[in-house]
Amino acid sequence: MNEQTETPPAITIGADGVDVHRIEREILEAVAAKRARGEYDDAAVARAERNNILALKDDKEFMERYLACLRQIVPVDINDFEIVERRSRLAPLLKALKRTIWKLLKFYTYRLWSQQNQTNGVLLAAIEIMDRRHGAEVAALRARIEALERASAK
């Protein structure tokens, strides 16, 4: 989206003494500092970032965030989880039933999940390799273009 066709923000802040740009800058700096400390390297944040990733305008930034998100969400979680039952009278019976069903399903699907994790890992590795190769190729082509432009300018 170019600058001339960009839609205005949904909300605007305007009040005497409020420096919106300073506030925005402080928020962005705080987020960058937290991201650098690894505070946002969580699977839940990665899932939320999938929606925001489309808003990135820079190709390099897009790929870096996309690959970071993929690294976070690529493994299928095959661990046990707490079974919660809110129906008070039947809770113990239903929890026991659900645990039994979960064990049967886990036994049945564990191999599938393991294969999916392997496939996801291989696909992520392939994307990372292609990104590095294309990045190197683009850098080499840019260097070649610059050399040709310098040579033609002489």
pLDDT of 90-118, one tens digit each?
A: 888 888 999 899 888 888 888 888 999 99
Rounded Cα gap, residues 154 and 148, in angstroms: 10
Domains of the chain by residue range: 18-73, 80-154
* Residue 74 phi, psi dihedral angles, 5° rounding: -65, -35
DSSP state of 37: T
Taking residues 9-22, what's their average pLDDT?
74
Rounded Cα gap, residues 154 and 149, in angstroms: 9
6-10, 41-45, 136-140: which range is least confident on average? 41-45
Task: Please check the confidence at residue 1 and state whether its pLDDT lies above 60.
Answer: no
> If we measure between CA atoms, which residue out of 147, 142, 145, 150 comes closest to residue 60?
142
The model's confidence at residue 2, banded by pLDDT at 50, 70 and 90, is: very low
Identify the three-state secondary structure at position 140: helix
Taking residues 72-85, what's their average pLDDT?
83
Rounded Cα gap, residues 49 and 99, in angstroms: 33
* Residue 2 phi, psi dihedral angles, 5° rounding: -85, 170
Task: Please check the confidence at residue 147 and state whether its pLDDT lies above 90.
Answer: yes
Q: What's the mean per-residue pLDDT of the chain?
A: 81
